[in-house]
Structure 1
């Protein structure tokens, strides 16, 4: 069953990256269950801060929400937050996102995804947190071409620095689970999309370009497939897992180690729709939702990209009796409606987007 607030729950859930896409949706759902939330974010300018501020405005209109602007790379400030709040449950969604951005701004990933994550682990350790859920990524599968991707697969060949930092997060989490008994759950997200989504993601950029008569960039000449996963399904999975702290696997075998479990309280799950969609088919779906055709600018493969992603979610299904299931045509329709009714009218009425214009898949 998904998370429900108990009468005795007075300690807020700490949600990092609460002004970000996934963190915002998780915080909102928790608040809707009556669970108090403390959200933190550094509101950086990787993409339009107006969108982040608009998400925060929604959260701040709900009872039980408190926000603190904080950069997790600030060791002292992060330690003070954990010492003061002493959260039992931490949902860590803050990160420097984007594969292509990591090619030109590598230090941003070290600061946020490595140093920031270490500070979160230390905070959880010293405050005695009962469960840390954190965002990993399907990008960790890297050069692995065996589909579908299974949580027990080898992920030692990342193709971008972003992917390498997410793999490092999983290793760091396991160390803290082993040394300090901290239950950690890593969530490998597969191309999450939906209302309030990131402007650097493909569906957002395609919609924006089509509705304004601009061409769209189609990398690898469209010969790519992605496991597009709707945000409500992601949020449902997280809420079901939050009250299920990772536990040791008594059947774990050191001579044939399962990378997704451990003798420590450590788990890894794929969060994906398990129905890969071709890039050209996705464009057809976006065109249908927008009611217009796209002008397609075919380009070669970009450095750091992979040709296909496909999630095996058997472990998630077994753990919480749930798997993402929203069809991509339905999810895209909902996104286009949000884009037209809220984003263009309330957030960016002059259509002045900021950030990398190359679509992130």
Structure 2
């Protein structure tokens, strides 16, 4: 059995990764999550309920900002790999509390890299974000594009995390892969994110907030495709440091997304038009050439099918019925 640490493993992406690794049966999975109140902690507790029945699973409630707590985790287990997904997430909330985002996303990442160095961990996979590209006029977004102009504290913290991973890879031979996720959606998606929020509000007959004219475009990526990319990154050993986009490589206009949701739910959306929000980018669009080449990444789920699956999950989940 190989030992792996997944930070943020009770969250949306993390809990799906745990599903996958436990199903493989070759991993002893340790999850660190602080169950903070960014959204209802009970949602995360539901995410891990099935995992806790598995003998290969160990859940530790800890904050990655607390060096002493992390030291205890690493003293208990010699990890073969770390997948670091824990973070304060979201562009708009980061404008309200940039200090918290810096402490968690930068200092917390540094704390984990230090523990990895001290305990000779061989592999570090970092969950980054497409937001690091900022307002990038060139599309699709390539890993070679400069990221010197982020437009939110969240984006800045993710870019800083990538640089820290590079530093530890260079200085201490810690093999690191930084994965830039593009607008991930699917079952268990955070309730504050657009698709989940829109489905909930449309289903309740309530207005949905639309910022700007509805022409913003996003590269929506289904959770199963993201997990396939993360899993491949864990095994990747060709180089000591890489930054890799994980997206669908297709952009969808917000108005088109809303129309797809209306079609699947069977109700028209009530639009609450709002001004463009600071920190929001007009579009995201992943060039996944590198992911295809290095990871064998091949996203399978088009937005039409992904939305259908999400709505089916939403309508069948007890958590979403209230």
Q: Which residue of 2 aligns with 1:100?
A: 92
Whether 1:202 aligns to 2:194 is: yes
Larger mean CA deviation between 189-198 and 315-324 belongs to: 315-324
How do residues 219-234 of structure 1 correspond to structure 2 at under 5 angstroms? 219-234=211-226
1:116: how far off?
A: 0.7
1:233·1:326 contact (CA, 8 Å) conserved in 2? yes
Whether 1:45 aligns to 2:49 is: no
1:29 to 9, 17, 20: 20
Q: Which residue of 2 aligns with 1:244?
A: 236
2:200·2:320 contact (CA, 8 Å) conserved in 1? no
Post-superposition Cα deviations, 1:262-285, rounded to whole Å, max 9, x if no partner, equal: xxx210000000010000000011
1:160 to 146, 152, 163: 152
In 2, distance between residues paired with 1:244 and 1:133?
10
Post-superposition Cα deviations, 1:103-144, rounded to whole Å, max 9, x if no partner, equal: 111122112101110110001111111110010000000022
1:15 to 6, 14, 20: 6
- Describe the SS at the equivalent of 1:156: coil
Q: Which residue of 1 aligns with 2:308?
A: 333
Q: Which residue of 1 aligns with 2:75?
A: 83
Flag as ranges the 4+ runs of structure 1 deviating above 2 A: none
Supply the RMSD in Å over aligned alpha carbons. Answer: 1.1
1:348: how far off?
A: 5.0
Whether 1:281 aligns to 2:256 is: yes
1:185·1:246 contact (CA, 8 Å) conserved in 2? no
Post-superposition Cα deviations, 1:270-306, rounded to whole Å, max 9, x if no partner, equal: 0000010000000011111111110112222100000
In 1, distance between residues paired with 2:46 and 2:245?
29
Whether 1:266 aligns to 2:241 is: yes
Post-superposition Cα deviations, 1:153-179, rounded to whole Å, max 9, x if no partner, equal: 100000000000000001111110111
- Describe the SS at the equivalent of 2:283: coil
1:246: how far off?
A: 5.7
In 1, distance between residues paired with 2:39 and 2:218?
22
In 2, distance between residues paired with 1:39 and 1:128?
19
Q: Which residue of 2 aligns with 1:181?
A: 173
2:135·2:282 contact (CA, 8 Å) conserved in 1? no
In 2, distance between residues paired with 1:245 and 1:122?
21
1:184: how far off?
A: 0.6
Post-superposition Cα deviations, 1:26-53, rounded to whole Å, max 9, x if no partner, equal: 1110000002211110000101111111
1:316: how far off?
A: 0.6
Structure 1 portions without partners, runs of 5+: 1-9, 248-264, 352-361
2:280 to 305, 310, 322: 305
Bigger proportion of residues as strand? 2
CA 246–47 in structure 1, closer or farther in 2 if over 3 Å, else same:
farther
- Describe the SS at the equivalent of 1:136: strand
- Describe the SS at the equivalent of 1:304: coil
- Describe the SS at the equivalent of 1:309: coil
1:294 to 264, 269, 291: 269
In 2, distance between residues paired with 1:148 and 1:212?
36
In 2, distance between residues paired with 1:282 and 1:348?
20
User: TM-score w.r.t. structure 2 length?
Assistant: 0.97
Q: Which residue of 2 aligns with 1:148?
A: 140
